[in-house]
Amino acid sequence: MDIIKDEFTKKSSKRMEIIDVTNDVNDILKKYQLNEGIVNVFARHSTAGIVINENESRLKKDFENTLQTLIPENNNYGHDLIDNNADSHIRAFFTGSSETIPINKGSLDLGTWQSVFFVELDGPRTRSFAVTIIGK
């Protein structure tokens, strides 16, 4: 088994945005020609997340709307006294910062409708993601 570390970056264009990064991760897997194992994708930011779900535009909008409803902006959060983005940090608690996915035959072993997403919660920004692979 090998342990491989790589990374990629993505630029968001909105304050909250859900961006499919499945191809970015698969491209890294192809680069190392691994057949099986696991890959971890980690967002190196406290106001960004990594999630797995279906890549359907209405569902992604529903997710954004739900986060905004449950955790509204400018809600008199204590952290807003520092940099006015407490809602982004709190939303990140719910999305999580990483996902671990099996590798099968050199690709992500996702379900039929599953994709890997970067969830931007305080953009627009350029974000970096660590990819750690354990495989052969």
> Can you name the residues that pair with 103 across neighbouring β-strands?
37, 108
Cis ω for the linkage preceding 72 (within 30 of 0) = no
Please state, in angstroms and rounded to a whole number, the distance separating the CA atoms of residues 122 and 7. 21
Longest dimension (CA), the chain: 50
How many domains does the structure of the chain reveal?
1
pLDDT above 70 coverage of the chain, percent? 100
pLDDT digits (tens, 9 = 90+) for 57-83: 999 999 999 999 999 999 999 999 999
Model confidence at 1, pLDDT cuts 50, 70, 90, reads: confident
**CATH number where 88 lies:** 2.60.120.460
Model-level pTM greater than 0.75? yes
Q: pLDDT averaged over the chain? A: 97
Q: How many CB atoms lie within 10 A of CB 127?
A: 21
In the chain, DSSP assigns E strands to: 2-11, 17-20, 36-43, 48-54, 98-104, 107-108, 114-120, 126-135
pLDDT above 90 coverage of the chain, percent? 98
Q: Which domain holds residue 18?
A: 2-135
pLDDT digits (tens, 9 = 90+) for 22-56: 999 999 999 999 999 999 999 999 999 999 999 99
